Amino acid sequence: MTNQNSKIENESLSSDYLAKIKVKKTWKRISVAAFLVTAVLGLAFASYYIFARDSDGDGLKNWQEKRLGTDPNNPDTDDDGLRDKEEIERGTNPFNPDTDGDGYLDGEEVAAGFNPLVNEMKEDEDHDGLTKEEEIALGTDYKNPDTDSDGYLDGEEVKAGYNPLVNEASQKAGEVAKLPGVTFLPGAVEEEAPAGRSYVLLPQLPAGPAKVKITAIQVSDIGPDYARVTWQTDVSSFGRIYYGLTSRYTGEAREVVSGRFHELVLSGLSSKNTYHFRIFVFDNQGAVLATSSDQEFTTTSGITISDITSKILGNREIEVSYKLNKPYFTRVEYGLDTEYKQSTSFSAKDKEFKTEIRGLQEGASYHFRIAVFDDSKKIVLERSGDNTFTLPKILENISSEIYINAQPPYITLTFPLPITDYCRIDIVANPAIPEEQKITLAPGNYKFEKISIVPQYQFIITILGGPNCSEELYKGAAQPEIRP
C-alpha cells in the first residue's frame, strides 16, 4: 500500500513539474513574439522618421531637404510663394525668391501666369520700342503699342520727348503749341511742327562768329525733379536755357539779371530721366550773342542709399548694413560677379537695415548692391553701386592645446571666428592610438575629452560639411601646445 501511495505521489509531482515547464515555455514564446513585434514596430517607426518624414508638409522628405540645403521646417524656404518641392519641379531656385531677376517673386509670376524662369520685364511684348518694365514705370499699357491712340508708338513718343499718355493729335496740323509762359524772341524761326507735335522754338542765330564765349558749363545739385546749371561768359549778358527729354526742347528757364557768372535751376523734371539742354546768351536788346552745344544730365530717383557696410560673421556668413533717406522695401543682390545672380528676401519697409547672408563660399570674394523697391515690390526705384567683401579662410588658422595632466586629459581647438555650415569635426592621432583613434565633435563644442594623449603625437584635424556630411571643408595637421 505504501509503495502504491508513493507511486501516486511521484506521478502527481511529475504532472505538476511538466505543467510548470509548459507554462514557462509558453511565456517564453510570448516574450519572444512580443520582442519581435516591438522590434518590427520600432524599425518601421525609425524608417518613417528617417526616410518618410516631411516635417513642413512641402512634399520633400526631411532627408531630401537636408541634401538640398532647404529648411525642413519651412515649406517655402525663400518665402516667394512657391513650396520647395514645386520650386525643384519647376526648376526655380528655392533659395532665390526671384529666380529670373525681373523684380517679381516666383510665386507671383506663377499665380499671374508668367514664367518665373524668363525675365519678361526686359521684353517688348507689344513691339512699341519700350520694355515691359519701362511701360509699367511710365503708366502705359504694355500690351498696346499706342496707349493714347494718337497714331504714334509709345516708344516713338518717349524718344521724341512727348507724353505717350496724352493724345496730341487733336491739335491742328502745323500748329505750334506754345508752352505756358514762353515768349519767342525777335528773329525766332517759325518752323512748322509735325502734326500733333509741339516744341519750343529756338532763337535765330546771328551770322558770323559768336560775340561771346560760353565756358565752365556745369550741372550740379541734381535731384529727382530739378537740376542746377551754372556757366560763365566773358562779357555781361542775359542767359536762357532750353531743355527737354530730347534735343527738341519743350521747356525754358531764363535769367532776369545780366552778369558774367550765371546760374539757373530747371524744375518740374521727371525722376530718373536723361534731359538735353542748350544755353543761349543775349544782350540787353534781346539779340542772340552765342549758344552752347547740346548738353545732357540725368535726374536722380530722390532715394539716397548710405552707410553701406559689410561685417564678417563667420567663414560662410556676413551681415550687410545700410540706410535710406526714406522708408522703402529693399533687398540685397549678390554673387561672385556683377551679374548678382542671388538675392535676399525683401526686408520690412524701413530706413535702416541689417541683413544676414548665409551659405556663402568660404574664402570667396563677392559683389553686392542694394536694390530699393516701390510698395508693390515689383519696380526697382534705385540701386546702389557695386560693393565687395571677401570671406576669410577661417579653418586655416586653427590653434590647439593639450592639457596632458588633466584627469582625464583633453585637447581644445580655437578658431578666430565661428565656423558655420559644418556637421562634424574628426580628430585622428598620428600615429594611431589604439585606445582612441577618432574623436567626433558636434557643432559648437570645441573640447575633446577621454583621449589617450602622447605629447610627441600629431593630430590630423578634418572638418566635414555639405550634403550628407561628405564635403571636406578642411584637413590639416596640428602639433598641439602642451599645457599642464
- Res. 484 pLDDT band, cuts 50 70 90: low
Amino acid 433: pLDDT: 46
Amino acid 296: pLDDT: 94
**Tell me: the pLDDT tens digits for 166-181?**
765 444 333 333 333 3
Cα 297 versus chain centre, distance: 29
Residue type, 323: K
What is the end-to-end Cα distance of the chain in Å, rounded?
89
Amino acid 80: pLDDT: 84
Higher-scoring residue by pLDDT: 265, 158: 265
Give the fold, CATH level 3, of 394-483.
Answer: Immunoglobulin-like (2.60.40)
CATH class, domain 171-300, is mainly beta
Task: Read off the pLDDT of each residue in 406-411 and give the average, rounded to a whole number.
Answer: 62
Half-sphere exposure at residue 141, Cβ-oriented, CA atoms within 13 angstroms: 10
Nearest to 128 by CA among 140, 139, 119: 140
pLDDT beyond 50 at 196 = no
Residue 261 CB partners (closer than 8 Å, separation 6+): 230, 232
Backbone phi, psi, residue 289, to 5°: -100, -35
Answer yes or no: are the C-beta atoms of 440 and 426 closer than 8 Å.
yes
Higher-scoring residue by pLDDT: 204, 284: 284
| 351/372 Cα distance (integer angstroms) | 11
| 412/80 Cα distance (integer angstroms) | 43
pLDDT beyond 70 at 192 = no
Higher-scoring residue by pLDDT: 125, 418: 125
pLDDT beyond 80 at 221 = yes
| 305/370 Cα distance (integer angstroms) | 8
Mean confidence (pLDDT) of the chain: 75
Query: Cα-Cα-Cα-Cα dihedral of 174, 180, 184, 189, to 10°?
Result: -20
Answer yes or no: are the C-beta atoms of 179 and 250 closer than 8 Å.
yes
- Res. 420 pLDDT band, cuts 50 70 90: low
pLDDT beyond 90 at 295 = yes
Amino acid 170: pLDDT: 45
Task: Read off the pLDDT of each residue in 48-59 and give the average, rounded to a whole number.
Answer: 71
Higher-scoring residue by pLDDT: 474, 372: 372
Strands of 116-225, DSSP E: 214-220
- Res. 302 pLDDT band, cuts 50 70 90: confident
CATH class, domain 305-390, is mainly beta
> Domain residue spans in the chain?
62-120, 123-159, 171-300, 305-390, 394-483
Grid-cell match 548665409, residue found: 358
Amino acid 142: pLDDT: 82
Q: Which residues pair with 4 in a beta bridge?
A: none
pTM of the complete model beyond 0.95: no
Higher-scoring residue by pLDDT: 441, 123: 123
Amino acid 160: pLDDT: 60
Task: Read off the pLDDT of each residue in 292-304 and give the average, rounded to a whole number.
Answer: 90
Fold agreement (305-390, 394-483): yes
pLDDT beyond 80 at 415 = no
pLDDT beyond 60 at 107 = yes
pLDDT beyond 90 at 40 = no
**SS3 of residue 45 by DSSP:** helix
Query: How many degrees, rounded to 5, is the angle at CA 393 between CA 388 and CA 395?
Result: 155
